[in-house]
Amino acid sequence: MKNVIVVNGSARCERGVTALLLAPFIEGIREAGAEVELIYPIRYHIKPCTGEFHCWYEKPGSCYIKDDMQDLYPELRGADILVLGMPVYIPLPGAMQSFLNRLCPLIEPLLETRRGRTRARLREDVRLSRLALVTVSGWWEKGNCGTAVRVAKELAADMSIRYAGALLRPHGSFILHHGEPTDAGRRVLDAARKAGGELIEKGDFSRAVRREVSRPLVPRGELRTRYNWAYSDSNRPPVKSDQESGT
């Protein structure tokens, strides 16, 4: 049975749009017969990497920082697939960044050049063979997810494992209206479930499922108007009630 670790980097945990998309995605993975562990880095005590390369040259494969990451290393070593659930926070949520930096002990710095780039690889005791990305952004275009895609691709290449592809969900908050999925939003969530199954059954995501997850949910102009309205509304001076103003 395949083991999948899904990392939800959102600071909003279950309340976030990343969690909304990951829920059916994880169901799809489980329906396809794999085991899933879901972790929220913000709920762990994960200190930032101190950049000493202790895990590469002093005590290879072992991080000297004694915090919750020590509990996660065995799980990460034993998983087959790593899924990064990465919301765009210009560029990443802080806890996610620390988590990614602290993956360094899993990587062996035996360097080689591939396609004009210097790359490392995973240590032999790390089972991971694939990395996939599920990313959510607030604004309209898929291009807002570009940095997350770059980060995930770079990490897969530096681990020398297969990049299984990405589900990009721009303007993700429009999946819901008054707390319920719209018709289009429901199609996005159904596609996310299908994508979870595909990841296990064929190792990546079909173009059809990727397109459906990314489908526009609202015209670009309408999104701009709604965001700008919410902003200007929140900055309007509060209107005093008759009682407060004494009239």
Ligand X SMILES: Cc1cc2nc3c(=O)[nH]c(=O)nc-3n(C[C@H](O)[C@H](O)[C@H](O)COP(=O)(O)O)c2cc1C
Site stretch for ligand X (CB under 6 A), options 37-45, 49-57, 87-95, 229-237: 87-95
What share of residues in the chain are helix, strand, coil (percent, to 5)?
45, 20, 35
* Of positions 5, 6, 16, 174, contacts ligand X by CB under 6 A: 16
Spell 67-94 as b/e; 16+ CB within 10 A means b. eebeebbeebbebbbbbbbbbbbeebbe
Q: For ligand X, which residue of 4, 144, 155, 166 counts as binding (CB under 6 A)?
A: 144
CB atoms within 10 A of CB 233: 8
- Check binding of 173 to ligand X (CB under 6 A): yes
Per-residue string for binding with ligand X, 123-142, x by CB under 6 A?
-------------xxxx---
Q: Which is nearer to ligand X, 161 or 175 (CB)?
A: 175
Q: List the one residue from 1, 90, 111, 239 that touches ligand X (CB under 6 A).
A: 90
* DSSP 3-state of 37: strand
Binding flag, residue 97, ligand X (CB under 6 A): no
Output the 3-class SS for 63-118: CCCCCCHHHHHHHHHHCCEEEEEEECCCCCCHHHHHHHHCCHHHEEEEEEEECCEE
* Interface characters, 185-224, with ligand X (x: CB under 6 A): ----------------------------------------
What is the smallest separation between the CB atom of 81 and ligand X, expressed in angstroms? 21
Residue closer to ligand X, measured from CB, 16 or 24: 16
Residue among 213, 205, 207 nearest 184 (CA): 213
Q: Count residues binding ligand X (CB under 6 A).
A: 17
Query: Which residues sit at the interface with ligand X, rule CB under 6 A?
Result: 10-12, 16-18, 87-90, 136-139, 144, 172-173
